[in-house]
Structure 1
Amino acid sequence: MRDDSAAIGFLGFGLLSDLDDPACRALLAGVKVCRISRGAGTALLPTQGTLKDTRYPLRRPVIMLVTEGKSGLGTGFASFVAGHKGQRIILKQGLAPAHTPRTRGDDRDPLDR
């Protein structure tokens, strides 16, 4: 995409969200992020907020399907991801966790700051 100004491509939002990462900043310097809309609605950029509230049209959920007959590694991993620490990792990666993790003494939603 960087070498062809007429190219259109798709990147996962997680690749663009960590502005502290030099690789992310380099990637953003070489591409243009476009606003998109659902029908005639307002065109939006992808953000944690527009992903979380489902306004951004090109979002996809992450679904974990565990088919173990007993509690094992897959079940443990799914439990970790769904738990507080796993959801904080997802939030830190710039994505929209299923459940917004809270920090002690903080009643505000991190996506609203």
Structure 2
Amino acid sequence: MLNVFDVVKLTEIDHKEIDSNQVVVTDGNGKPNAVLTELLNDVVGNMRIFINMDEIYSVNDLMKALADHTPLPDDVLDEYEKVLREPIFNINFVPKRGQVELVVGE
């Protein structure tokens, strides 16, 4: 089963890596999960600023790179890791908004 990290790593929109405002976490009914979305947007934003994703192949790689290259405290990195390991049950692409909805927690 894919997790949030896999989708963030593999998904591109118009041949560019997704950025923080293009990914939304929802439940099975399409209801946005504001807490997970905000956390994931923060992760993606920091990834784009500090990390070369061409050299990252797993959540563990990403956590190590963020720990090495950012001043983020351990508790923040722990929360990042939790959202990145969240299993994905479905992916919904919303081309009109340029968004990817990641369905979790079904």
- Coarse TM-score class (shorter-chain normalised): under 0.3
Q: Structure 1 or 2: larger strand share?
A: 2
Structure of greater relative contact order (alpha carbons < 8 Å, 6+ residues apart): 2
Q: More helix by proportion, 1 or 2?
A: 2
TM-score (norm: length of structure 1): 0.23
Larger Rg: 1
The alignment's TM-score, normalised by the length of structure 2, stands at 0.24
